[in-house]
Amino acid sequence: MPTVFITGANRGLGLEFVRVYAENKWTVIAACRSPHEATDLEQLKSDFDDQIILCKMDICNQTDIDAFCEKYKDDTIDLLINNAGVQLENYGSAAYESMGEDPNPANYNYDLWAETMKVNLFAPTKLTGHLTPMLERSNNAKVIMMSSGIASLENTWHAGRYAYKTSKAALNMVVRNVGEWLQTKKIAIFAVSPGWTKTDMGGPNAPHDSKTAVRGLYKVISEAEFSNTGNFYNFDGKKIPW
């Protein structure tokens, strides 16, 4: 039975990833900051018994990462889904005229920008490095970085939401940079986008729900081949331009 490690597993896309991989007979290590306060995740674990392993991990907390790596140092991870992330700005503020966001970067909240980079960029990159020894034991290891369609430089020409968009664009660059190193270890890495999805982060007006996004991504991830490592895919399987 293959093993998947999923961050941000307590809600939204992360919770749906846990459900889909458990349904498909994977061992799921479901990581979040407070797993025993995550009611929906606890219920999902009870539905699948020992197939789901709850793991306390704040991806920005080195102590949590070290504790996991020590406990599971001899285990194998076949798939790492770096799903955890934040969107600290007012959602939808790309249309700053209607949302009230000042597009002038002189007036932007740079503390918010730094925190967004810490969570969305630095933490998943570091975690990937720490879990690489476990991934190397797999015969078909893959790393997934949860990106966004608005991280595409070619497709984006909107002021506002500077922190979120640049954090995801930078994460895409990590896929291209770290990917070259992981390739030498026979580990594939991909950036993926769930599209605009109805979640706490995506808001209620998105065109599709977490189930649609994750079931599409499950297919994309399953079909992604090592020869295509370093690519950027939408949940419907289409490649997204960088």
123-159 pLDDT tens trace: 999 999 999 999 999 999 999 999 999 999 999 998 8
How many C-beta atoms surround the C-beta of residue 104 within 10 A? Answer: 9
Burial of 238 (0-12, 13-18, 19+ CB in 10 A): exposed
Render pLDDT for 76-85 as a digit per residue (tens, 0 to 9): 999 999 999 9
Render pLDDT for 119-130 as a digit per residue (tens, 0 to 9): 999 999 999 999
Give residue 179's pLDDT: 98
Give residue 206's pLDDT: 59
Burial of 111 (0-12, 13-18, 19+ CB in 10 A): exposed
Is 100's pLDDT higher than 90?
no
Write out the two tokens for 29.
């290590």
Q: Which of 98, 69, 83 is nearest to 13 (CA)?
A: 83
Q: Cα–Cα distance between 159 and 38 in angstroms, integer?
A: 35
**pLDDT cut 70: percent of the chain above it:** 90
Contact predicate 45/15, CB 8 Å? no
Helix (H) or strand (E) holding 46: helix 39-48
In the chain, what is the straight-line distance between the N-terminal and C-terminal CA atoms, in Å?
A: 34
User: Does the predicted model carry a pTM greater than 0.85?
Assistant: yes
Render pLDDT for 217-227 as a digit per residue (tens, 0 to 9): 999 999 999 99
Mention every residue, 6+ apart, whose C-beta is less than 8 A from residue 195.
Answer: 149, 206, 207, 208, 213, 234, 235, 236
Is 198's pLDDT higher than 80?
no
